[in-house]
């Protein structure tokens, strides 16, 4: 006799899975028991859904404060460190991979942080449907998938349309912070953001920035540095 497996929140897929050309691929990564437990027990405490529509940040966080959106937070190590060091800021994290979401929720619960909400969905859909215009103090995109093959470069997240969308969501003088370890992608980022008249490079025209202390060094980045990989940070300010 076959028994139907009960579906849990950790088994669900982002609502964007069948929509348009995406900048990500959903990998069926292994979810640990701790990550699954964090999702199943704390999903409704920390996770927002695209279907809930436009948010009111003050109501979502039950307080006012600078609002930071991080796209693609991976396992959440860097974002967890930023939450600890900047308790006055409110953080919205977007990540399509559920093990990463589970990892971040687990760390947030363990440290009793209250300045985080998460979307497990396509960042473009989140920005279009959930983030009010002129509401963000910073948008962070650290080490997005480089799609390094020529035929796949159209799938890169940082394209003209995404830059325009980001500008519409940032407050005046809000920061757009990008980082990558792929020189070709760094050059594309520099070109496409520099060509948008709504942004100005905080380090000077065509110049890359030093990694600021506000961007925590990730395990991924530390490993890359040990292997001799270069890193590029780009920080722009909305005019």
Q: Three-state SS for 73?
A: coil
How many whole angstroms separate alpha carbon 121 and alpha carbon 4?
A: 27
Q: Three-state SS for 163?
A: helix
Widest distance between CA atoms in the chain: 68
CB 52 within 8 A of CB 130: yes
Lookup result for tokens 């980001």: 166
Q: What is the DSSP letter of 23?
A: S
Residue 145 falls in the annotated catalytic set: yes
CB 23 within 8 A of CB 144: yes
Question: Shortest CA distance to 176 belongs to which of 59, 24, 70?
Answer: 70
CB 82 within 8 A of CB 91: yes
Cβ neighbors of 98 (< 8 A, separation 6 or more) are 10, 12, 31, 35, 39, 120
Catalytic member of 11, 77, 121, 145 = 145
Residues that are catalytic: 145
């Amino acid at each position: 006799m076959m028994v139907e497996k009960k579906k849990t929140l950790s088994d669900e897929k982002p609502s964007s899975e069948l929509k348009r050309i995406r900048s990500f691929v959903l990998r069926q990564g292994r979810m640990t028991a701790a990550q699954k437990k964090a999702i199943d027990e704390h999903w409704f405490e920390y996770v927002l859904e695209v279907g809930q529509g436009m948010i009111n940040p003050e109501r979502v966080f039950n307080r006012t404060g600078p609002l930071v959106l991080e796209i693609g937070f991976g396992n959440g190590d860097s974002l967890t460190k930023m939450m600890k060091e900047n308790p006055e800021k409110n953080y919205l994290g977007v990540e399509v991979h559920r093990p990463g979401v589970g990892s971040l929720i687990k760390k947030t619960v363990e440290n009793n942080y209250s300045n985080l909400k998460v979307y497990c969905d396509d960042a473009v859909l989140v920005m279009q449907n959930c983030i009010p215009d002129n509401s963000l103090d910073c948008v962070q995109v650290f080490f997005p998938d480089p799609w390094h093959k020529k035929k796949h470069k159209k799938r890169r997240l940082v394209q003209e349309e995404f830059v325009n969308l980001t500008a519409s969501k940032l407050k005046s003088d809000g920061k757009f912070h990008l980082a990558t370890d792929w020189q070709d992608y760094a050059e594309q980022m520099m070109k496409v953001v520099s060509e948008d008249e709504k942004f100005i490079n905080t380090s000077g025209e065509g110049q890359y920035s030093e990694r600021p202390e506000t961007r925590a060094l990730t395990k991924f980045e530390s490993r890359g540095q040990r292997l001799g990989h270069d890193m590029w940070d780009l920080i722009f300010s909305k005019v």
